[in-house]
Amino acid sequence: MTTMRKFPLILLAAAALAACSSVPADNAQLDHARSAYAAAQGDGRTATLAPVEFRQSAAALALAEAAYARGDGAARVDQLAYLAGQRVATAQQIALRKDAEARIAQAGAARDAMRLAARTREADDATAAAHEAQDDAAHAQRQSESAQRQAVAAQRDAQASQQLAQASQQQAGDAEQRNRMLESQLRDLNAKQTERGMVVTIGDLLFDTDRAQLKPGGRQPIERLGAFLQQYPRRKARIEGYTDSTGSASHNLALSGRRADAVRAALVDLGVNPVQLSAQGYGESNPVAGNESSGGRQMNRRVEVVLSNDEGDIGKR
Amino acid sequence: AHAASAGSAEAAPADLASARDKLGRAEVALAAHDNDTALALAQQSQADAQLAAAKTEAMRAQRSAQALDASARALREEMARKAP
């Protein structure tokens, strides 16, 4: 009985043993699918970017694992493991595509942002440049206004200077003209520059011998002298009478004094102010030539008129 | 057919060739009334073709992204040069 009872147990054990031996050894295809799935899971991007396909690949792998656990035929396990591996690979590729598409979108946004930044910067630069230009313009205008004021002031100065120059020129011209006129008049008077000043010598044609009466023929030089003294009222004239050595010295001194007075009186008659005039006889002193010859004596008989400068100074005899 | 239209011959030639081969063999098995084999081959062919299509689309997107990156870099450099 016991043997009878034991037999099914042995059968069961044998059956169990057979079942154990029928469990397939390592399946290469399944190992490959497992490691591929593990890699995808470790990456993380596949689950994130391709969640549907990743779940499908997980389900496919579970089917293969179940078949393997059930002890399905190697061909069946291989088939399911192969399909699972391909699904994992497909999910990974889809994740790669999604990643690339995200980068494309980001690149577009970045490019737009960059262009916007560039445009903003250009606008800012333009605004800054405009402000700078405005400042420059205002500065230039201020400078221009200042320069204009300076120019106006300079123009006024120039005009004043010109007027001053014209006045100076006029005065210089006037002085020059006066000097020329004076020189011309002095030339007409036959004036000589001496150490006493300008001296006009009037010869003996004025008077007859031993007389103090002016001869009519000698009036012309007197009239010129009179006109000159009237034109230059600040100048003074000292009228000096001289004789030759004929006759006594005292007589000659008196004669020369009367002749000098006669010339003075004639000048006053012509309108010369008497304060400009003085008269003095010097007789036979200060001869200009020898009294031995008649020519020398004629040169010594004379009236000399010494003219002062403009200030009225006159050299003493 | 979907994998072929996506240009997979260029991007994933091995996967596409495998898919076509298995499809042909599945038809043969079906004609021989070996239904189990035909089904297995057809399933593998479909998985291969889907992988080929995914690879092709991923490669295309990656190329576009690279081109965009290059153009963005060029734009950035151009703007950096224009900057005062």
A-chain residue closest to B59, CA distance: A97
B63 vs chain A: nearest CA distance in angstroms? Answer: 8
The reported pLDDT for the residue numbered B73 is 81
Residue A86 to residue B43, Cβ atoms within 8 A: no
The reported pLDDT for the residue numbered A50 is 93
- Residue B77 banded pLDDT, cuts 50, 70, 90: confident
The reported pLDDT for the residue numbered A225 is 87
- Interface-testing mutation among A45, A78, A79, A97, with chain B (most B C-beta atoms within 10 A): A97
**How far is the CA of B38 from the CAs of A202, B22, B24, B30, in angstroms?**
169, 9, 10, 5
Average confidence (pLDDT) over B5-24: 76
Q: Please check whether residue B65 is in contact with residue A100, taking contact to mean a CB–CB distance below 8 angstroms.
A: yes
Q: What is the pLDDT along chain A (317 residues), one digit of tens a residue?
A: 444 444 444 444 444 444 444 455 678 999 999 999 999 999 889 999 999 999 999 999 999 999 999 999 899 999 999 999 999 999 999 999 999 999 888 888 877 888 888 888 888 888 888 888 888 888 888 888 888 888 777 777 777 767 767 776 777 777 777 777 777 777 777 788 887 778 888 776 677 777 777 777 777 888 888 888 888 888 889 999 998 888 898 999 999 999 899 889 989 999 999 999 999 999 988 888 888 888 888 888 888 899 887 777 776 66
> Coil, strand or helix: which one is A267?
helix
Q: Please check whether residue B56 is in contact with residue A94, taking contact to mean a CB–CB distance below 8 angstroms.
A: no
B-chain residue closest to A96, CA distance: B58
The reported pLDDT for the residue numbered A136 is 87
The reported pLDDT for the residue numbered A157 is 76
List CB contacts of A286: < 8 A, sequence separation 6 or more.
Answer: A242, A317
Cβ-in-10-Å burial (0-12, 13-18, 19+) of A188 comes to middle
Average confidence (pLDDT) over B48-75: 87
Question: What is the C-alpha to C-alpha distance for residues A7 and A103, in angstroms, rounded to an integer?
Answer: 71
Rounded to a whole number, what is the distance in angstroms from the first to the last CA of chain B? 56
Residue B9 has pLDDT above 70, yes or no: no
Tokens found for residue A166:
């014209």
The reported pLDDT for the residue numbered A211 is 77
Residue B65 to residue A107, Cβ atoms within 8 A: yes
B47 vs chain A: nearest CA distance in angstroms? Answer: 6
Q: Please check whether residue A287 is in contact with residue A244, taking contact to mean a CB–CB distance below 8 angstroms.
A: yes
The reported pLDDT for the residue numbered A232 is 84
Tens-digit pLDDT profile for residues B54-67:
998 899 889 888 88
Cβ-in-10-Å burial (0-12, 13-18, 19+) of A71 comes to middle
ipTM value, please give it. 0.81
Which 3-state string (H, E, C) describes A15-71? HHHHHHHHCCCCCHHHHHHHHHHHHHHHHCHHHHHCHHHHHHHHHHHHHHHHHHHHC
Q: Which residues in chain B are contacts of A75 at CB distance < 8 A?
A: 40
Among A79, A83, A104, beta carbon nearest to B64: A104
How much of chain B exceeds pLDDT 90, in percent? 7
Q: Which residues in chain A are contacts of B44 at CB distance < 8 A?
A: 79, 82-83, 86
Short-list B21, B53, B25, CA closest to B39: B25
Q: Which residues in chain A are contacts of B58 at CB distance < 8 A?
A: 93-94, 96-97, 100
The reported pLDDT for the residue numbered A66 is 95
The reported pLDDT for the residue numbered A212 is 79
The reported pLDDT for the residue numbered A26 is 79
B-chain residue closest to A94, CA distance: B54
